[in-house]
Chains A and B, each alone.
Chain A
Amino acid sequence: MTSLNQITIKEAKKGLKNKKFSSVELAKACLEQVKKHNKDLNAFITVTEKEALESARIADKLIAEEVDLPLLGIPIALKDLFSTKGVRTTAGSKVLENYIPQYDATIVKKLKAAGVVIIGKTNLDAWAHGSSGENSDFGATRNPWSKEYVPGGSSSGSAVSVASDMCIASTGTDTGGSIRLPASFNNIVGLKPTYGRVSRYGIIAMASSLDSIGHFTKTVEDSALFFNVTAGKDYLDATTLPNPTENFTKNLEKGIKGLKLGVPKEFVTPDLDKEVKTGLEKSIKVLEGLGAKIVEISLPHTEYGIAAYYIIQPSEVSSNLARYDGIRYGADRSFFGDEAKRRIMLGTFTLSSGYYDAYYKKAMSIRTLIKKDLDDAFQKVDALISPVCPTLPWKLGEKINDPLKMYLSDVLTVTANMAGVPSLSVPAGFSKNKLPIGIQFMGKQLSESLLFQIGNSLEKQTGFYKQKPNL
């Protein structure tokens, strides 16, 4: 039997509206799950039980008055990179261990206005630097599917909180794969939107030209419902797009008959894990069965993506983290962890006099070529399909002393960030050891509705999201 915390946004909305249960009951079920399993999984840095129950009571009152808000009474969690007024926001780093923001990030404001119940702030690789969740100064998060394995990062706690039913949805940030990778390692849905489609204001910056603000949900439909709230222009973030938002659920049931999907051949390398490859092939079969046409396509500069990314991203990191000097607030710079130190130094080096042209400028030119590869591809196909990560989740500790090896886990995800295009990660089954496998769809800028349409068609056939980890 499904317990209350296991339901989707759609089911919760319906149940709340029909008075099958209250928002307080729903929040309590989630908080109960946190109490049971957070000790093992370490998904939350801060749990805001009191505030959550207060918000839930208010939601129940509004529901009784028949107020209709898009996410009224829905318990969610926020990556601890999102500024929350009056609630500690650490970025997973000891530098901000005691930092309490004076304001809410724009997205937090929007979510609150939509009626959500925030149950806490989730663990992450410090400053969102990492692919495994192990770089948190508050301890590693564990994968609920097998606790000896990493949950993927950097939005590790946000992914695990949804996968283990501690909340109904959660927010994340994706600079080079930080939403899609953990989504794929946890059998849940992760959206990295078009660059600039969601406001970055009030979210602690990592690499400003790459940071995309997205979310984790149990289903594709939930992802669209959540995106209906978060997408849109914000005068406090000059990079947000002026394009009008739409109802992102509008194409969900359209099916995919006649759509042309490209498989980038450079993403299916000989060293791609066999079980991940099988997951991709099985998904392709399902999509073909639904009437999509699958073609092979080439993104010739793929192999340079990760090298260019690991110049551009640390360069922007070194600039963004320069403000943490410990003078006005926060701890001093000796409190940065190893990964932040590495990226600050790498970026300082690649931007320094005498090396700027050879590294930073070169990488920014490669970025042009990667974007052009995608522009060309989308002339030929409607969307792309590929694995999210070339490997299955790995064991805790396996890559922690080899930063380069860790960086290469992002090899298939950075492309979308470099080109600013949206990408949706959806479940694609399990390995023989019951570790989740994910695939991603990429579309041209502003094509999120199309990605939801494809993802929903696949999910309705496979139903992988119904499988839950054995906690």
Chain B
Amino acid sequence: MKIDVSHVAKLANLPLTHLEKEKFEKQLSEILSYVEKLKEVDTENIKTTSQVTGLENIVREDKAIPSLDQEQTLSGAKSQHNGFFKVKAILE
């Protein structure tokens, strides 16, 4: 199995150097070849499992409880302005 590392890295927003691309392409292709073995198993009529303990529709009372205040929330912010996170413009 070949993997287009440049395309996947772009989807995942990962900046990669040329050397990294070469290394990862080889390693990821090896891993994907290994997982090919799943094809040996017939899963035609098998349901998928994403939740192993069988809990369903877990809800709680929609009640406001104390949470972090604005100052605490922004305590790790790299850049802030008037109590908001300041980020680079997306649209010019």
Contact, CB under 8 Å: A344 / B14: yes
B77 to chain A, nearest CB (A): 6
Set of chain B residues within 8 Å of A311, measured between Cβ atoms = 35, 38
Q: Tell me the minimal C-beta distance from A105 to chain B in angstroms.
A: 14
Contacts of A21 in B (CB 8 A): none
- Residues of A with C-beta under 8 A to B76: 99-100, 102, 328-329
Taking the closest CB of chain A, its distance from the CB of B88, in whole angstroms, is 8
- CB B82 to nearest CB in A, in angstroms, measures 15
Q: Does A365 contact B37, Cβ atoms closer than 8 Å?
A: no
Q: Give the number of chain B interface residues (Cβ < 8 Å).
A: 46
- Interfacial chain A residues near B32, Cβ < 8 Å: 346, 349
Partner of A307, one of B35, B47, B73: B35
Known: A235-B60, A304-B41, A369-B41. A349 touches B8 (CB 8 A): yes
Instruction: Classify the secondary structure of A's interface with B.
Output: helix
**Chain A 406-439 against B: per-residue CB contact (8 Å), 1 yes, 0 no?**
0100000000001110000000000000000000
Q: Which residue of B lies closest to A367 (CB)?
A: B49
Provided the pairs A195-B52, A307-B37, A363-B38 are in contact, do residues A341 and B87 lie with their beta carbons within 8 angstroms?
no
**Do the beta carbons of A304 and B46 come within 8 Å of each other?**
no
| Contact of A362 with B38 at beta-carbon distance under 8 Å, contacts A327-B87, A346-B31, A369-B43 already known | yes
What separation, in Å, do the CA atoms of A194 and B34 have in the docked complex? Answer: 29
Is A310 on the interface with B (CB-CB < 8 A)? yes
Cα–Cα distance between A364 and B46 once the two chains are bound (Å): 9
Tell which of B11, B35, B53 touches A239, judged by Cβ atoms closer than 8 Å.
B53
Given contacts A328-B77, A361-B48, contact A341 B14 (CB under 8 A): yes
Q: How many residues of A contact B (CB 8 A)?
A: 55
Write the chain A residue with the least CB distance to B43.
Answer: A365
Contact (Cβ within 8 A) B51 A209:
yes
Asked if A301 is at the interface of the complex by the 8 Å CB criterion, the answer is yes
Asked if B15 is an interface residue, CB under 8 A from chain A, the answer is yes
Residue A371 contacts which of B11, B28, B49, B73 (CB distance < 8 angstroms)?
A: B49
Minimal Cβ-Cβ distance residue in A for B47: A368
- In chain A, residues 346-382, which have Cβ atoms closer than 8 Å to a Cβ of chain B? 346, 348-349, 352, 359, 361-369, 371
- Quick check: is A333 within 8 A (CB to CB) of the other chain? yes
Q: When the two chains form the complex, which single residue of A304, A341, A368, A445 contacts B48, counting CB atoms closer than 8 Å?
A: A368
A301 to B88, CA, bound (A): 50
Question: Which 8 residue pairs of A and B lie closest in terms of their CB atoms, listed nearest first?
Answer: A420-B52, A364-B48, A365-B43, A329-B76, A238-B58, A307-B35, A348-B12, A365-B46
| Interface CB pairs A-B, < 8 A, 18 | A99-B76, A102-B68, A102-B73, A196-B53, A196-B55, A238-B55, A238-B58, A242-B55, A304-B38, A310-B34, A318-B12, A327-B87, A345-B9, A346-B31, A363-B35, A367-B49, A368-B48, A369-B46
List B residues at the A interface (Cβ < 8 Å). 3, 5, 8-9, 11-16, 20, 24, 27-28, 30-32, 34-35, 37-41, 43, 46-53, 55, 58, 60, 68, 72-73, 75-78, 85, 87-88
Interface residues of A (CB under 8 A from B): 99-100, 102-103, 194-196, 209, 235, 238-239, 241-242, 301, 303-304, 307-308, 310-311, 318, 322, 325, 327-329, 333-334, 336, 341-342, 344-346, 348-349, 352, 359, 361-369, 371, 403-404, 407, 418-420, 445
